[in-house]
Amino acid sequence: MHHRPQGLPIAYPYVPLQRFTQRYSDEDAIIRGTLFPELDLPFHDYEIRKHLPNTPMIELMTLDFVCFELKLYLDTHPEDAHAFELYKEYRQKSEAAKNEIFGMQNYNSWVYDPWPWEPEA
C-alpha cells in the first residue's frame, strides 16, 4: 500500500476558461457529450457514434441535454444574456416535446404506474 507524504496535495485541478463562441448542433452535442467544441476532449481518440435514431424520445433527450449544458455554462457565466435566452428557448422546446410525447398528462406519472414485472401490471 502506498501512502501520500504528509503535507502534499493530492492533485491540482484545472478547468479551462470557457467562452461561448461556438456550439455544436443539437444532434452533434448529444453525440459528442458536450455542447461546446472547445470542451470536446475525446478520451484517447474514442470513436463516437455518428448518428442516433430519429425518434421523439431521442429528440427530447437532445433538447434536455442542451438545456443541461447551457445551465452548467450559466452557473459560471450568469451575465451571458445570449446564453440565458437560448436556455429559455430550449426549455420551451423541451416542454413542448414532453407534452407531444406524453400528452397533456403529467409526464412523470409513468414512474408511479405499475412496472411490467409488478403483479398489478
The pLDDT tens digits for 27-69 are 888 888 889 888 887 765 566 666 777 888 888 889 999 999 9
Domain count, the chain: 1
Q: Is position 7 within any domain?
A: no
Other Cβ atoms closer than 10 A to 67: 19
Rounded CA separation 80/74 (Å): 7
Is residue 115 one of the residues assigned to a domain?
Answer: no
Q: Does some domain include residue 6?
A: no
Contact between 51 and 88 under an 8 Å Cβ cutoff? The reply is: no
**Rounded Cα–Cα distance for residues 40 and 60 (Å):** 22
Residue 44: inside a domain, yes or no? no
* Rounded Cα gap, residues 32 and 48, in angstroms: 7
Question: Is 89 part of any domain?
Answer: yes
Q: Report pTM.
A: 0.62
Which residues constitute the domain of residue 88? 26-37+53-103
Grid cell listed for 25? 448542433
